[in-house]
Amino acid sequence: MGSLFFFYSLVCFVLLSQNFSSSLVQHLCSPNEAFSLVQFKQQFSASFAKTSWNESRDCCTWDGVTCDMLTGYVIGLDLHLTNLSGSIHPNSSLFQLRHLQTLNFAYNNLSGPIPYSIGNLTQTRELNFGYNHFTGHIPSTISKLKHLTLLDLSSNSLGGEIPDVFSNLQELVNLYLSYNSFIGPFPSSIVRLASLESLDLSINSLSGPLPSNVSILQKLVDLDFSHNSLNGTIPSWMFSLPSLYMVELHHNLFNGLSDELKLNPTLGRLDLSHNQLSGPVLRSLQNLTNLVNLDLSSNNITVDEAIPIAFPSLEVLQLSSCELKDLPHFLRNLKTLRALNLSNNKIRGQIPNWFSNRRWDSLFHLNLSHNSLSGHIDLSHYYSLVSLDLKFNFLEGPLPSAICNMSFLNLLDLSRNNFSNSIPSCLGNMTQLTVLDLRRNNFSGSLPPLCTQITSLATSILNGYQLMTTIILNGNRFEGRVPVSWLNCVGLEVLDIGNNAITDTFPASLGTLEELQVLVLKSNKFHGPISTKLKFGFPKLRILDLSHNEFSDSLPAEVFRNFKAMIKDDTNKGEIRYMKRFDSFFDVYEDSVRLVVKGNEIELERITTIMTTIDLSSNHFEGVIPKALKDLGSLWLLNLSHNNLRGDIPMELGRLNMLEALDLSWNRLTGKIPRELTRMNFLAFLNLSQNLLVGPIPRGLQFNTFDNDSYGGNLDLCGPPLTKQCGTSDLSLVPQPLESEGEDEAYFFSGFTWESVVIGYSFGLVVGTVVCSVMLKAVKPKWFVEFFEGLIPHKKRRPTKRAQRRQT
Ligand SMILES: *[C@@H]1O[C@H](CO)[C@@H](O)[C@H](O)[C@H]1NC(C)=O
Ligand SMILES: *[C@@H]1O[C@H](CO)[C@@H](O)[C@H](O)[C@H]1NC(C)=O
Ligand SMILES: *[C@@H]1O[C@H](CO)[C@@H](O)[C@H](O)[C@H]1NC(C)=O
Ligand SMILES: *[C@@H]1O[C@H](CO)[C@@H](O)[C@H](O)[C@H]1NC(C)=O
Ligand SMILES: *[C@@H]1O[C@H](CO)[C@@H](O)[C@H](O)[C@H]1NC(C)=O
Ligand SMILES: *[C@@H]1O[C@H](CO)[C@@H](O)[C@H](O)[C@H]1NC(C)=O
Ligand SMILES: *[C@@H]1O[C@H](CO)[C@@H](O)[C@H](O)[C@H]1NC(C)=O
Ligand SMILES: *[C@@H]1O[C@H](CO)[C@@H](O)[C@H](O)[C@H]1NC(C)=O
Ligand SMILES: *[C@@H]1O[C@H](CO)[C@@H](O)[C@H](O)[C@H]1NC(C)=O
Ligand SMILES: *[C@@H]1O[C@H](CO)[C@@H](O)[C@H](O)[C@H]1NC(C)=O
Ligand SMILES: *[C@@H]1O[C@H](CO)[C@@H](O)[C@H](O)[C@H]1NC(C)=O
Ligand SMILES: *[C@@H]1O[C@H](CO)[C@@H](O)[C@H](O)[C@H]1NC(C)=O
């Protein structure tokens, strides 16, 4: 009986309380606060067009607004990623929401200073203004927000010194100020924050030393001061604070470790790379027994072999660019290593037995590239490797077939060594291999059969095989034909077998590989026509280099019509992507390729997707230049030199308005140089020499920048830059500058005024210079990015790993 009564009262209570709370919800929002929100909304009206912020509804039901259940006060405002644009006025009605506890405006386009009135929101616990365009200083009124637990101002354009406003914020747990332009000394009030767990000051311009005596940060777990100009010694507290797990001090100017190191062993990740540390740093760190990930790259470190260094938990060790001269013996003690990076040191001689014979049961990544290792290499104990990078050494001998036991191997880069003999044919059975780079060795014999286990995309997915993306065998002594099995490499993006002795006809069937973007067959003994009865595919091809072979016959239009990726697509305008392979540990591999530009062979370290190139030079091609080339609107380089091409230069080539280098020299081209070619605004290199061209050389824009070398050895060209004057019969033909043809061509260059000549000329110089520096340095073509800055909505964004984590 009693229990039944209890049950009834429980039901009544539940029903009543539900009714009660729902009636509460209906009247929650206070009119004043609703009014403040409405005023705020009006200031940013554009962003709120499609939201639920309808004044005829209770403001507590609006998206992003949270109210206190009991009092009805607005306590949370979350408008991250809502496209807010403009500045927040210090008088903004926002600051009347006195009960706000969380304010999240991250990932918007807010600009101007952070209003000092922020100090009015004294109840705020979480303040996130990250990923906006705020400028100016951090307002000192921040110090009034005594309950702050999270302050995120990262990724803005804030500057000046970081004010010492943090001493009062004793509840602060997360402080993120990274990716701004803060200068001056390290803000010492930060080290008095007893609750702090996560501190990120990375990517600023802080300078000077770190405070030496820090003991309050007892709860600090991770700290990131990377990418600043901090100097002096790294103080002992970095290694002794009791909760510290992750320390990122890379890319600073630290020159040593504190003399009085007291290590406590909680530290798991330590990145001191890119500093000016020298001497036996490892020995000083040896008591960090929980260290999992240690990066000391780009310092000048000596390894004191007398002291046994253990690091019993170490999984990732990076000592690249550290001036090491030998493989350090202490590596023998590292049983848990998963990634070892000793690249770019001065390690010389044979790989010692203790290194190759020990068991490397869990080693996934080994990078010994850019050293001076020599002799044979024993790979039988490295069966767990996922990536093996030995490029730029002097290793020799045949590639041991033990390589095929590495059943997880994804990336194999043995390029630029002296390896010889033929390649073990079992390589084709390695179903996880995606990148194979053996360029510039002495390998001989036939090309290795690859992708032998794959018959279709479906089989590879079904069996968990990886798709091969990159095959680079350039610069060896391979002979014979292109293996049939390569047709199975359905994911192939880059194929470079240039500079070998391959005797085959054009492998047109590779045109079925829909992902293929780079095909380099240059300097081999390929022969015959390039068009066959097979349907000519290659829909994604961007770089085609068939130069220095014995290809013959004509260049039929349909060959070029299939290059869909080269046909200009305005929707992709300005989009620049690097071809890059990713891996769980690191960014592992960037495709690179050598091209001949302006007569110099250069290496493009990174292939950007706009470097569209066709090089068919030094073959026996004959017939006319197909007009169909005009459709390849994204073409960057076109080289048809040293062939037997005849007929006129098609005026349609003038439509290739991305073209920067055009080489048609050493052919039998006749007629006049079409003045339409002057439309090529980016043309920085032109070679029409050694043909049978006649008549006046067109003038204007880029053409004013070319000299004699572009035209020498022709039948009867005249006019500047040649000294030969045009006769009177020619004068009527002196090409006039072209007039605007349509609205779609930006006329920046319209008319023939002094200004346009000057602009055109200096523009040519700029393009010429940057092309040159890109070519010579062969580095990332930053100028492309800069050039296109006006076209892409560009915003500095370099989220740290943590920022990405935070975002989720
Ligand atoms: C707001 O809500 C009212 C009633 O529900 C509706 O009539 C009105 O169109 C809404 N206004 C906007 C801007 O959505
Ligand atoms: C953000 O605003 C810009 C202009 O201010 C507009 O072009 C864009 O479509 C908006 N994006 C979203 C997701 O509303
Ligand atoms: C961002 O704000 C600036 C200045 O307030 C404005 O010029 C720009 O168009 C805005 N960008 C977007 C994408 O809304
Ligand atoms: C901030 O607080 C001060 C003092 O309480 C007040 O005078 C001022 O109007 C407030 N500012 C805003 C924008 O609400
Ligand atoms: C801001 O508010 C103060 C007082 O509330 C007022 O005197 C001042 O004119 C306001 N400024 C602007 C730009 O609205
Ligand atoms: C550290 O940097 C400060 C400020 O840039 C400079 O004055 C000082 O000389 C530097 N000290 C060392 C040891 O480099
Ligand atoms: C470091 O701090 C402790 C305690 O706060 C103090 O006793 C000591 O003198 C300080 N040392 C230095 C060098 O400032
Ligand atoms: C490392 O540990 C040993 C033994 O516990 C101790 O003698 C030595 O002082 C410690 N070294 C450092 C730098 O903490
Ligand atoms: C590295 O340090 C050694 C001495 O420890 C010194 O002889 C050498 O010059 C330094 N190298 C560089 C590049 O600073
Ligand atoms: C090794 O170090 C180099 C240079 O610092 C870096 O590019 C690479 O990503 C690192 N990792 C591996 C696995 O090689
Ligand atoms: C490749 O694997 C197949 C079956 O898995 C086997 O029959 C063949 O002998 C292997 N080839 C080589 C060269 O190891
Ligand atoms: C190995 O290190 C070199 C630089 O030292 C780097 O360029 C290369 O990408 C690294 N290899 C891998 C596979 O990460």
Range of the domain at 775: 747-807
User: Taking a C-beta distance cutoff of 8 angstroms, is the pair 542, 612 a contact?
Assistant: yes
**Which amino acid would we find at residue 557?**
A
703 and 587 housed in the same domain: yes
Q: Tokens 């940057």: give the residue.
A: 770
Is 392 or 702 the better-scoring residue by pLDDT?
392
Atom of ligand 10 nearest to the CA of 387: 13
d(CA 441, CA 475): 7
d(CA 801, CA 807): 10
Find the Cα–Cα–Cα–Cα dihedral 755, 759, 761, 763, rounded to 10°.
180
> Is the predicted pLDDT of residue 754 greater than 90, yes or no?
no
Query: In the listed set 184, 208, 232, which residue is the last one of a domain according to the structure?
Result: 208
703 and 755 housed in the same domain: no
**Closest-CA residue to 206 (of 241, 254, 171):** 254
**Closest-CA residue to 623 (of 641, 593, 644):** 644
Q: What integer is the mean pLDDT of 162-169?
A: 91
CA distances from 241 to 176, 191, 214, 218, 221 (A): 20, 12, 8, 6, 9
d(CA 798, CA 294): 23
Centre of ligand 2 to C-alpha 522, Å, is 48
- Number of separate domains in the chain: 3
**Closest-CA residue to 412 (of 369, 354, 445, 357):** 369
54 and 120 housed in the same domain: yes
pLDDT of residue 511: 87
Radius of gyration of the chain from its Cα atoms, rounded to whole angstroms: 33
pLDDT of residue 56: 80
pLDDT of residue 722: 86
Residues touching ligand 4 (Cβ under 6 Å) are 90-91, 95-96, 117, 120
Find the Cα–Cα–Cα–Cα dihedral 16, 20, 26, 31, rounded to 10°.
170
Residues touching ligand 6 (Cβ under 6 Å) are 207-208, 231-232
| Residue 183, both tokens | 């200068």
536 and 641 housed in the same domain: yes
574 and 646 housed in the same domain: yes
Tell me, rounded to whole angstroms, the distance of Cα 560 from its chain centroid: 30
555 and 699 housed in the same domain: yes
Q: What does the angle CA 647 – CA 650 – CA 656 come to, to the nearest 5 degrees?
A: 145
240 lines ligand 10 (CB under 6 A): no
708 and 762 housed in the same domain: no
Pairing of strands 587-590, 580-582: antiparallel
Q: Is residue 247 part of a domain?
A: no
Going by pLDDT thresholds of 50, 70 and 90, the confidence category of residue 749 is very low
d(CA 419, CA 411): 17
d(CA 284, CA 743): 68
Residues touching ligand 2 (Cβ under 6 Å) are 46, 83, 85
Burial (CB < 10 A; 0-12, 13-18, 19+), residue 705, is buried
Pairing of strands 550-553, 316-318: unpaired
User: Taking a C-beta distance cutoff of 8 angstroms, is the pair 344, 367 a contact?
Assistant: no
Q: What integer is the mean pLDDT of 297-310?
A: 85
Query: In the listed set 680, 699, 727, which residue is the last one of a domain according to the structure?
Result: 727
Q: Is residue 511 part of a domain?
A: yes
Is 508 or 228 the better-scoring residue by pLDDT?
228
pLDDT of residue 307: 75
Residues touching ligand 3 (Cβ under 6 Å) are 85-86, 109, 111, 793
569-579 per-position pLDDT tens digit: 544 444 444 45
Question: Which pTM was predicted?
Answer: 0.82
User: Taking a C-beta distance cutoff of 8 angstroms, is the pair 399, 432 a contact?
Assistant: no
Phi, psi dihedrals of residue 339, rounded to the nearest 5°? -140, 130
Number of H helices, E strands in the chain: 12, 53
Going by pLDDT thresholds of 50, 70 and 90, the confidence category of residue 793 is very low
Q: Is residue 761 part of a domain?
A: yes
Centre of ligand 8 to C-alpha 256, Å, is 18
160 and 190 housed in the same domain: yes
User: Taking a C-beta distance cutoff of 8 angstroms, is the pair 439, 473 a contact?
Assistant: yes
Q: Is residue 775 part of a domain?
A: yes
| Residue 537, both tokens | 């595919």
pLDDT of residue 49: 65
Going by pLDDT thresholds of 50, 70 and 90, the confidence category of residue 760 is very low
Atom of ligand 8 nearest to the CA of 263: 14
Q: Is residue 405 part of a domain?
A: no
Nearest-CA residue for ligand 8 atom 2 is 287
Residue 74 host element (H or E): strand 74-78
167 and 67 housed in the same domain: yes
> Is the predicted pLDDT of residue 165 greater than 60, yes or no?
yes
Average pLDDT, the chain: 82
C-alpha count within 13 angstroms, C-beta hemisphere, residue 147: 12
Query: In the listed set 727, 760, 786, which residue is the last one of a domain according to the structure?
Result: 727
Q: Is residue 339 part of a domain?
A: no
401 lines ligand 11 (CB under 6 A): no
Tell me the CATH number at 41: 3.80.10.10
Going by pLDDT thresholds of 50, 70 and 90, the confidence category of residue 536 is low
pLDDT of residue 557: 85
d(CA 446, CA 481): 7
Give the end-to-end CA distance of the chain in Å, rounded to a whole number: 53
> Is the predicted pLDDT of residue 805 greater than 90, yes or no?
no
pLDDT of residue 596: 61
d(CA 490, CA 772): 36
262-296 per-position pLDDT tens digit: 778 899 999 999 999 998 898 888 889 999 999 99
How many percent of the chain have pLDDT more than 70? 80
Centre of ligand 12 to C-alpha 392, Å, is 11
* Count of positions (residues) in the chain: 808
Going by pLDDT thresholds of 50, 70 and 90, the confidence category of residue 538 is confident
641-691 per-position pLDDT tens digit: 999 999 999 999 999 988 888 999 999 999 999 989 998 888 888 999 999
Q: Is residue 451 part of a domain?
A: no
CA distances from 315 to 4, 278, 363, 715 (A): 63, 23, 9, 69
628 and 775 housed in the same domain: no
Nearest-CA residue for ligand 2 atom 7 is 83
Q: Is residue 166 part of a domain?
A: yes
d(CA 220, CA 247): 10
95 and 143 housed in the same domain: yes
The answer for residues whose C-beta is within 8 angstroms of residue 462's C-beta and 6 or more apart is none
714 and 794 housed in the same domain: no
Find the Cα–Cα–Cα–Cα dihedral 634, 767, 703, 753, rounded to 10°.
110
Atom of ligand 11 nearest to the CA of 426: 13
Q: Which ranges of 27-84 does DSSP label H, i.e. alpha helix?
A: 31-43, 45-48
437-460 per-position pLDDT tens digit: 999 999 999 999 999 987 777 888
